[in-house]
Structure 1
């Protein structure tokens, strides 16, 4: 398997996925923040919105088909919804764009999204690219939080 984890710090998703992928697969993690080394995980530190960081990730992927893209990216929240929501949607749109570029047919995409302006059109975009789109709210997320995860399964390629 080949897995890409965007917004990987502190490393929880990468740790779990890296152990499942093992040394036979490729696990690529990237974050603007530093992350402790994890066995069998290639870490690229930098801002995913910058072309140079995107290209570093693509260099590691090479021409391999990617089975799973995980995005746990979120902007630094200011507490002002009118500012935070567009920044958050920009990150998830970039992550979906990358997933569409690298996923193999049948691949999966898991992303953290904040419900609000842009959420419904984004979900429609995901539905156009995946056979199934599921919404999940982890029990660790506060009930009043707008944070949710979307899981796209079966990339249409």
Structure 2
């Protein structure tokens, strides 16, 4: 289960408010109602996570929004971006960040359904399918100047397997960027463990002027995720 809202627990039926937050006893009751120990731990973590609370307060769909915000603050990733593609965009937190930071055209795609978001062109589909890619790009007036990817495979609990599966998705995102990104454009993708694979890192350094890895504070300390940021696409030869 990821922590970015792609699989969400919706909680018990709403009751009349009796305070500004949940008491510890309420958290324990909710946890005991969970089906297994893993779900209990996830629910407890969500309830106590300051980024989850901040996302609710600021009306972001997922705490993952703050990962992109912090990556942008550190690297200037979104500066000047006008046309953006967001790969693996459910539930839409990164789409919201882009819109709030002045992106004029944003198109997102995910295998999961995403609730409509004013100003965003959203496609439920697979970037490995040409028809879905065509539908995605119909939402932009031209080629993107920024490609984002928060894609991650469902975790298995085996670190090496999870890292390899996420690396494959990152490489797919880089392939997409190499096909559609405008010269001078930027790229950001989730990776696991030690960062991008050596082959991917070599490709990034060949294709972009600047490449770096970022671990935003919103990414939990125990999470193996990093984000690789590549700025200044050199163009297709």
Q: Distance in 2 between matches of 1:128 and 1:146?
A: 26
The equivalences for 1:61-140 within 5 A come to 61=140, 64-116=142-194, 119-140=197-218
* Larger relative contact order, structure 1 or 2 (CA cutoff 8 Å, min sep 6): 1
Find the counterpart in structure 1 of residue 101 from structure 2: 20
Count of residues paired in the alignment: 154
* Match of residue 57, structure 1, among 132, 136, 146: 136
**3-state SS of the aligned residue for 2:89?**
coil
Q: Determine if contact 2:183/2:234 at 8 Å carries over to the other structure.
A: yes
Matched residues in 2 for 1:101 and 1:117: separation? Answer: 22
The runs of 5 or more residues in structure 2 that have no matched partner are 1-81
Would the alpha carbon gap of residues 149 and 17 (structure 1) be closer, same or farther in structure 2, given more than 3 Å must change?
Answer: same
Q: Distance in 2 between matches of 1:111 and 1:60?
A: 21
* TM-score for the superposition, normalised by structure 1: 0.87
Cα pair 1:21 1:27 within 8 Å, conserved: no
For 1:148 and 1:45, the matched residues in 2 are separated by 25
Which protein has the larger Cα radius of gyration, Structure 1 or Structure 2? 2
Structure-2 separation of matches of 1:84 and 1:55: 29
When normalised by structure 2's length, the TM-score is 0.60
Displacement after TM superposition at 1:90 (Å): 1.5
Q: Which runs of 5+ in 1 are unaligned?
A: none
Partner of 1:149: 227
1:44 match? 123
| Structure richer in strand, relative to its length | 1
C-alpha distance in 2 between matches for 1:56 and 1:18: 20
Distance in 2 (CA, whole Å) between partners of 1:118 and 1:139 is 19
Cα shift at 1:32: 1.3
What's the counterpart of residue 88 of structure 2?
7
What displacement does 1:61 show?
A: 4.0
